């Protein structure tokens, strides 16, 4: 049952790196955040200094932020047919997971990538081997979190079955899942989010991986239609999912205690803003 009156964890992807993320979160009223631990456009990760990591942990103690996630570099593709791309991707995730551990983040969220140009079974095998290697290379508490995708182009992770297959093959408590509302919609998991389709969808997630494995909800409207396989985020209520869709999602009791992270363009095109946070927060009432 949803806890009536409990404030939802509504948060956002924030820019500015480790030094500025918490202040930016506070400025828009976010109680959960996602940030890049290092440049998302580079293979090479820059590790924060021990002092910077310590400062982040201390600032977090005093802030209203209750959950912190890192997002992996855009280039990462553990399903890649290219041995170089595969090796760079594995190392990049090891480095970013180390940063997550250093700053005490709940986890590192990454996209499963695409096995385009190769055999799909082999792509799954590559994913599983790499994920085991990454977890073994970074001991600790921080989670490695796979995100569902919009599909298309040989992408892995567009279906609940894809995600569950990797989850069970790796079989590690530190491997978790992030559900992206836009990606699920674009992948065609639902034609629209209604109380009935949301229940059915999360019944399926629950039986596939269990609700404890769901670490966060990436909360995005979509510029494209259901089943488009075209990943384009939109501000909450401005896309094809629409406000009614988010009201249906917000009223699913199993999602109530999860961190909801916005990755939307923002009404001024400067990233997730207070207006999106307020609109989403209102969906819970
Ligand atoms: Zn996402």
Q: Cα of 125 to ligand 1 centre, how many Å?
A: 23
Domains and CATH numbers, the chain: 9-283 (3.20.20.150)
pLDDT the model gives residue 3:
44
* 66 CA to centre of ligand 1 in angstroms: 19
Q: How far is the CA of 41 from the centre of ligand 1 (A)?
A: 16
Q: What is the pLDDT of residues 252-263, one digit of tens each?
A: 999 999 999 999
Distance from the alpha carbon of residue 220 to the mean position of ligand 1, in angstroms: 8
Other Cβ atoms within 10 Å of 230 Cβ, number: 13
Provide the token pair at 183: 């990606």
Q: Which residues are catalytic?
A: 41, 71, 74, 111, 147, 180, 183, 218, 231, 233, 263
pTM of this structure: 0.96
Looking at the DSSP assignment, which residues form a beta bridge with residue 36?
71
Reported in sequence order, the residue ranges of 46-156 that DSSP labels E, i.e. its strands, are 67-71, 107-111, 143-147
Residues pairing with 273 in the sheet: none
Q: How far is the CA of 62 from the centre of ligand 1 (A)?
A: 27
| C-beta separation of 63 from 104 below 8 A | no
Helices (H) and strands (E) in the chain, counts: 9, 10
Question: Rounded to 5 degrees, what angle do the CA atoms 106, 187, 113 make?
Answer: 55
Give the Cα separation of 3 and 8 in Å (integer). Answer: 10
- Strand blocks (E) in the chain: 9-13, 32-36, 67-71, 107-111, 143-147, 175-180, 214-219, 221-222, 233-234, 259-262
Calculate how far, in angstroms, residue 181's C-alpha sits from the geometric centre of ligand 1.
Answer: 8
pLDDT in tens, 60-84: 999 999 999 999 998 999 999 999 9
Query: Residues 175-232: pLDDT tens digits?
Result: 999 999 999 999 999 999 999 999 999 999 999 999 999 999 999 999 999 999 999 9
Give the number of C-alpha atoms closer than 13 A to the C-alpha of residue 112, restricted to the C-beta side: 38
The pLDDT of residue 132 is above 50: yes
- Say yes or no to pLDDT of 5 above 60: no
280 C-alpha to center of ligand 1: Å?
16
């Amino acid at each position: 049952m949803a806890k009536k009156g409990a404030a939802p964890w509504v948060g956002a992807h924030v820019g500015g790196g480790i030094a500025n993320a918490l202040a930016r979160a506070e400025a828009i009223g976010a109680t959960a955040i996602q940030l890049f631990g290092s440049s998302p456009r580079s293979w090479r990760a820059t590790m924060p200094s021990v002092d910077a990591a310590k400062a982040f942990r201390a600032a977090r103690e005093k802030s209203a932020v209750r959950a912190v996630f890192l997002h992996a570099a855009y280039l990462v593709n553990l399903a890649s047919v290219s041995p170089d791309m595969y090796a760079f991707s594995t190392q990049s995730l090891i480095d970013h997971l180390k940063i997550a551990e250093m700053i005490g983040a709940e986890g590192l969220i990454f996209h499963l990538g695409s096995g385009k140009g190769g055999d799909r079974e082999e792509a799954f095998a590559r994913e599983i081997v790499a994920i085991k290697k990454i977890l073994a290379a970074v001991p600790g508490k921080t989670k490695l979190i796979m995100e569902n995708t919009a599909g298309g182009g040989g992408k892995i992770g567009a279906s609940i079955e894809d995600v569950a297959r990797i989850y069970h093959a790796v079989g590690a408590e530190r491997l978790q899942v992030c559900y992206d509302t836009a990606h699920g919609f674009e992948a065609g998991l639902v034609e629209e989010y209604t109380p009935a389709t949301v229940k059915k969808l999360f019944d399926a997630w629950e039986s596939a991986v269990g609700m404890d494995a769901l670490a966060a909800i990436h909360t995005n409207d979509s510029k494209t239609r259901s089943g488009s396989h075209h990943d384009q985020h939109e501000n909450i209520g401005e896309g094809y999912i629409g406000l009614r869709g988010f009201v249906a999602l917000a009223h699913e009791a199993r999602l109530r205690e999860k961190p909801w992270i916005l990755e939307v363009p923002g009404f001024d095109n400067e990233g997730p803003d207070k207006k999106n946070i307020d609109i989403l927060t209102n969906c819970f009432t």
